[in-house]
Structure 1
Amino acid sequence: MQTLLHTAGSRGHASHGWLNSYHTFSFAGYQNPERMHFGVLRVLNDDTVAAGMGFGAHPHDNMEIISIPLAGTLEHKDNAGNHGIIQSGDVQVMSAGTGIAHSEKNHSRTEEVKFLQIWVFPNKRGVQPRYDQLSFRAADRHNQFQQVLSPNPDDAGVWIHQDAWFHLADFDAGFSADYQVKRSGNGVYVFVLEGDATINGQALHARDGFGIWDTTSFTVQADSNTRLLLMDVPMSL
């Protein structure tokens, strides 16, 4: 088993007044040659957007883009005619493929929105752009791993063009569970959303990231009431 720790305080940071963003991997003005990606996981941004503000229309191509709101409401529009509003408990995915332009804005004019912006390199280039969003029950991640993303349109959750699986989990203090890596050659990047956990003897706290690979399974121990996002991704680009 190999592991990699990214503490919350080691992340890149950008504050633009309306946007407060923490970058686990190199992004925009934050460039760190040792923090370019974890396998095919390219971007993990922890964003807070002020009321009524957001990202204007901008293009993407050949990237799988996942948005996971943590608080507030996020509005999506794109030039393919898709329009959606998501909130905590929802997961949104956009396959940029041959090219798409979209905007993401705080839908509320009174409250900020907090969300994760995640980019994953696809295993197919030049696909037809697509958009999807789903809602997930909080009860289904209480003391268990709730699958919210996979490579299979017929499996639970949204899907992307990559051999990747995402899970959310809300663990009570003292609870532990074994996670089975979904595919040979995959690693798992664990992002602690809230609380404290221990994995492979490593203590983790809110907004810490922990990469694990060259293993088929590992145990997650919740040291307090803990919320986690696990991103199971190929380690080879």
Structure 2
Amino acid sequence: MIEIRKANERGRASFGWLKSLHTFSFGHYHDPKQMGFSALRVINDDRVTPGAGFAPHGHRDMEILTYVLQGRIAHRDSEGNVAHLPAGEFQLMSAGSGITHSEYNASDSEHLHFLQIWILPDVYGQSPGYQQKDFGQKPGLTLVASSDGAADSLVIKQKMKLYQLLLEPGETLHLDSDVNRRYYLHLIDGDLKIEGLSVDGPVSAEEIMHPGDGVRLGELTQLQLTAGEEPVRALLFDLP
């Protein structure tokens, strides 16, 4: 299975200070066919005007990943964590039994652009937690989050893995995949060709992926990702 979710098909929200694109149903955007994928529940592409942001609000029993693409987030939460999250860094907030937090554009002159991702946990009611890390710009796949913290990754409360993917123009990456797992790729920069191998033979996407596109992947034994004429940056989710 290779199913592309086009960027222009996402839900939209605009509140003046915030413009948001929703890969899956969120807020006032509801599509019964887009309620998430496996444990992946939300991918919001958010842009915030200078000095604006989200006032204190609460969450519980959700793993909330934030990846800053441009600008810097000022974070504060009810567990006493006060931090700035610059472009290129990942943040993981485990809401657990309940947490209140705020997040603002830390600049009075520059716009903020970030992805916020929600993962359904496989354990509930645990103590809230906060993690933050820069994983650099290593080519290929870099493990960002896992259930066991392998390779110094962020520890997430779900049997999944999140990878940062970086490819040079024209570069091809071959991956072995598990037919019993599901995968989701969100493309941030560049163009990407998706091909795979199932038990029934070769499969490929009918279209080239462009920035903001996502793709559901399943029942594949191998995966081949080929960058176009520009560098590729993407997030790859390995899901139960």
TM-score normalised by structure 1 residue count: 0.93
1:176 aligns with 2:160: no
Greater shift, 127-136 or 210-219, is seen at 210-219
Percent identity among equivalent residues? 36
The aligned residue for residue 145 of structure 2 is 149
Which AA in structure 2 matches 1:227? Answer: R
C-alpha deviation, 1:8, in angstroms: 0.3
Root mean square deviation of aligned Cα: 1.3
C-alpha deviation, 1:186, in angstroms: 2.3
Mapping for residues 139-218 of structure 1, pairs under 5 Å: 140=138, 142=139, 144-181=140-177, 185-200=180-195, 201-202=204-205, 203-218=208-223
CA spacing shift, 1:52–1:39, aligned 2, 3 Å: same
User: Secondary structure of the equivalent of 1:155?
Assistant: helix
Kept after mapping to 1: 8 A contact 2:143/2:151: no
Structure 1 gaps, min length 5: none
Kept after mapping to 2: 8 A contact 1:74/1:85: yes
Kept after mapping to 2: 8 A contact 1:46/1:117: yes
**Distance in 2 (alpha carbons) for counterparts of 1:178 and 1:104:** 38
**Distance in 2 (alpha carbons) for counterparts of 1:92 and 1:180:** 28
**Distance in 2 (alpha carbons) for counterparts of 1:154 and 1:70:** 24
**Distance in 1 (alpha carbons) for counterparts of 2:75 and 2:218:** 34
**Distance in 1 (alpha carbons) for counterparts of 2:68 and 2:60:** 22
**Distance in 1 (alpha carbons) for counterparts of 2:19 and 2:60:** 25
TM-score normalised by structure 2 residue count: 0.92
Which AA in structure 1 matches 2:158? Answer: Q
Kept after mapping to 1: 8 A contact 2:179/2:218: no
Which AA in structure 1 matches 2:173? Answer: A
Greater shift, 88-97 or 224-233, is seen at 224-233
Greater shift, 213-222 or 57-66, is seen at 213-222
Which AA in structure 2 matches 1:166? Answer: L
**Distance in 1 (alpha carbons) for counterparts of 2:81 and 2:132:** 11
The aligned residue for residue 117 of structure 1 is 116
Mapping for residues 129-148 of structure 1, pairs under 5 Å: 129-138=128-137, 140=138, 142=139, 144-148=140-144
C-alpha deviation, 1:133, in angstroms: 0.3
The aligned residue for residue 226 of structure 1 is 232
User: Secondary structure of the equivalent of 1:122?
Assistant: coil
Structure 2 gaps, min length 5: 196-203
Which AA in structure 1 matches 2:111? Answer: E
Deviations 1:135-174 (A, max 9, x none): 1211x1x2x1111111113533211100111111221111
Write out the 4+ residue segments of structure 1 that deviate beyond 2 Å after TM superposition.
Answer: 153-156, 183-186
**Distance in 2 (alpha carbons) for counterparts of 1:69 and 1:180:** 29
**Distance in 2 (alpha carbons) for counterparts of 1:75 and 1:152:** 28
